[in-house]
Amino acid sequence: MSTTISIIGAGYVGLVTGTCLAELGWNVICIDKDAEKIRSLQNGEIPIYEEGLQQLVTRNSLAGRLSFTTECGQAVRHSRVVFLAVGTPQGDLGQTDLTALKCAAKEIAHNLRDYTVVVVKSTVPVKTYQSVFNIILEYKPPDTRFDIISNPEFLRQGSAVRDFLYPDRIIVGGRSKKALTIMRRIYSSFIHRHVNYIESSNETAELIKYAANTFLAVKISYINEMADICEMSGADINQLARAMGLDKRIGPAFLKPGPGYGGSCLPKDVKSLIWSCSEMGYNFRIGAAVDQVNRGKRGSVVNKIRELLGPLENRNIALLGLAFKAETDDTRESPAIHVARSLLDSGASVLAYDPAAMDRACLDIPKLECVNSPYAACNRADLIIIMTEWNRFANLNYKRIHKLMARPIIYDTRNLLNPRKMLKLGFVYFDNGRVPFSAAVENMAHLRLGWARRKNARVSRKAGFALQKA
């Protein structure tokens, strides 16, 4: 295995891809412009929270198969295969910003010597491979040859290493037989294990990524709308989702209701596909509906809190969970961040706790107060809102929490807790399509009546003492 592989971009995708390729036995050089990041990686420090990655980076660095550099030119000159794994963020209008990708393509071109396979790993709109090809063609030295392969990634944050090493499928798009043969060699261990290995055109490979992510978003928005319908009709979303998922044609994954999908991929990719379609003169209606439902879900979370508590000025809200999903420290496009901002804008005071994502969230929202335990967040709170499905939130001491709170109200947007148990403990509890909001409003009215009675009793007791004294 003498082929050296360069990975341009040591972010989330590049780092996981490079490390896992090294684990498969390849010599890998990860390149990034961020000198600080490269220094940390050279010292064995991982800039992201990803299960299993630290051990793999250490093992492969020590074995001499994995190295990190800021020197793009030198690495490219030594590599037969160069992966492009740079960020492709969302532009202002929903389009994908390809600046970093184009810049990297130029850098490859300037350093092209022998035949090189350029593999686009970043998520890019259909036909982007053509722009990469044109740039390299324009800037490369004469008489040098290259091919472009489109090889999208399907790595979920939190399980990216597992997803890379045990994939459902590998998609390799390209036209050149030579490049396709080299890619088959790189992925030979998967082919031997009979992992689904699909070769297609570049366009198809690029579009598969968007089609897959958008379909996942469709499932989530669908189940979230179903949760609303369950609430209106008194049905139970968990039972409904389970029954739906048992149909093999539907499958159980991505049918968990929540406050809407977030992260750096699904929201961006849905918008990008809508944008690409509009550029081709097509109105991608399902995509637009999914995006609209997702944004609506976050809004309705805040509206329910407002409906229950009245004006939010000076209300204390405990917000449990800031990451866009469990097992990650990422808060990009996190529904929790949107909800926290909205609550703060409405005048509420928000105490937040997350096991992994507090540093980033506090930097993003200076007005947000992050505390170091869920109990501290719940102290004197008027309402707890669970935004991220961290398992540990299901196992908190809710008896203790009940005593700590000013008003014992829980809004469980992830259906993490046992409603019966919570109601038994005396909470006003509502969630996402299991315990209807109307029941919580009714419970709240009873509670208010109870408070009023207790208050009146205190008043009449005082009056009684006054009479006795007189």
Tell me which residues touch ligand UGA (CB under 6 A).
123, 153-157, 213, 216, 220, 254-256, 258, 261-263, 265-266, 324-325
To ligand UGA, the closest distance from the beta carbon of 47 in angstroms equals 17
Query: What does DSSP assign to residue 96?
Result: B
DSSP one-letter string for 157-190: TTSHHHHHHS-SEEEEE-S-HHHHHHHHHHTHHH
Q: Which two tokens stand for residue 438?
A: 């109307």
**Is residue 331 a contact partner of residue 365, using CB atoms and an 8 Å limit?**
no
To ligand UGA, the closest distance from the beta carbon of 266 in angstroms equals 5
* Tokens 């919570």 sit on residue: 422
Question: How far are the Cα atoms of 102, 217, 343, 374, 456 from residue 428, in angstroms, in the given order?
Answer: 54, 31, 20, 18, 22
C-alpha to C-alpha distance for 116 and 149, rounded to whole angstroms = 11
C-alpha to C-alpha distance for 353 and 375, rounded to whole angstroms = 9
Exactly one of 265, 277, 370, 378 is catalytic; which is it? 265
Reply yes or no on whether 265 is catalytic. yes
Which residues, 6 or more positions from 126, have their beta carbon under 8 angstroms from its beta carbon? 203, 206, 207, 210, 276
To ligand UGA, the closest distance from the beta carbon of 241 in angstroms equals 8
**Is residue 426 a contact partner of residue 408, using CB atoms and an 8 Å limit?**
yes
C-alpha to C-alpha distance for 163 and 166, rounded to whole angstroms = 5
Catalytic residue IDs:
265
